[in-house]
Amino acid sequence: MVLQTPTDYRIALRRLDALATAGVEGNAALEAEFRELILSIDTYEGKLGLLPIPNLPTSLAEMIELKRQQMRLKQKDLAQLLEVPAGRLSQILSGKRRVTLDLAKRLYERLGIPSDFILKNA
């Protein structure tokens, strides 16, 4: 699929949003369409000189780090905000320690990390 006009681009974005909302997992045809739309949109944006959206976090540690950077906090300040020892936060971010239920609740309340993301990636 080649996007040539702003109208093509808007239609592709709407279709991509619809597929993302509906979910494409398990349906090979929809997964292929989803990938094709992403490539087409990326190509069109590249021609316009638009910057691609950075990759979204795929792990809880990456999400915590992203939120820390967005809030412009040092790691020790984030540990204080979350009420955990700095060493424990370091272990969580490196994947050496799991998140407790209490910490998951604070991640949701204080950092705004969606609860479903926490559950899927904890």
Tell me the pLDDT tens digit for each residue of 76-88: 999 999 999 999 9
CATH number at residue 80: 1.10.260.40
In a domain, 32, yes or no: yes
Residue 55 lies in a domain: no
Identify whether 87 is part of a domain: yes
pLDDT in tens, 16-71: 888 888 887 888 888 889 889 888 988 888 887 765 566 778 899 999 999 999 89
C-beta of residue 64 within 8 angstroms of C-beta of residue 117: no
Same domain, 40 and 74: no
Task: Say if 17 falls within a structural domain.
Answer: yes
User: So what's the pLDDT on residue 30?
Assistant: 83
Residue 112 pLDDT grade (very low, low, confident, very high; cuts 50, 70, 90): very high
Q: In this structure, are 115 and 68 located in the same domain? A: yes
Cα-based torsion angle of the residue sequence 106, 71, 86, 91 in order, rounded to the nearest 10 degrees: 80
Residue appearing with tokens 């609740």: 105
Classify residue 102: in a domain, yes or no. Answer: yes
Torsion angle (degrees, nearest 10) of CA 40, 42, 43, 45? 120
- Whether this prediction's pTM lies above 0.85 is answered by no
Secondary structure of residue 28 in the 3-state scheme: helix
Residue-range definition of the domain harbouring residue 28: 6-48
Name the DSSP letter for residue 72: T
Q: What one-character DSSP code corresponds to residue 107?
A: I
Q: Which of 10, 35, 12 is nearest to 24 (CA)?
A: 35
Residues with Cβ within 8 Å of residue 60, at least 6 apart in sequence:
92, 99, 107, 113, 117, 118, 121, 122
Looking at the fold, whether 43 and 66 belong to one and the same domain comes out as no
Per-residue pLDDT, 51: 57
Rounded to the nearest angstrom, the gap between the alpha carbon of residue 99 and the centroid of all alpha carbons in its chain is 18
- How many distinct structural domains can be found in the chain? 2
Same-domain status, 23 and 76: no
Q: Are 28 and 71 in the same domain?
A: no
54 within some domain = no
